[in-house]
Amino acid sequence: MNNKFITGLIVGAVAGAALALFLSSDKGEEIIDNIKDAAGDAADTAKEHFGNVKDELGKLLKKSKHFVEDLETKVKDATS
């Protein structure tokens, strides 16, 4: 079990070092920039969709209020 731990530690260190070298290269920095851009675009899209949903829910709420007000008026007129 001790050998497996040491082997895993060495493999992890080598993989981490290789990843650090790759990410510090020009290609790695380009990939990081692409990921940041994609994340920003996704956030903008999510905000836009949330705004649309919020607007539609506002419209639905307004229609519901008018429906209830009309219904109240009809009930009052019918019971008067």
The angle at the Cα of 31, spanning 10 to 42, to the nearest 5 degrees, equals 120
Instruction: Provide φ and ψ at 33, rounded to 5°.
Output: -65, -40
The 10s digit of each residue's pLDDT in 23-73 is 888 888 888 899 999 999 999 999 999 999 999 999 999 999 999 999 999
Tell me: pLDDT of 16 over 80: yes
Tell me: pLDDT of 80 over 80: no
Q: How many residues are present in the chain?
A: 80
Tell me: pLDDT of 76 over 80: yes
CB burial string 34-60: b at 16+ within 10 A, e below: eeeeeeeeeeeeeeeeeeeeeeeeeee
**Separation of alpha carbons 19 and 2, rounded Å:** 26
Tell me: pLDDT of 79 over 80: yes
* Predicted structure pTM score: 0.51
**Separation of alpha carbons 78 and 59, rounded Å:** 29
What residues does each domain of the chain span? 2-79
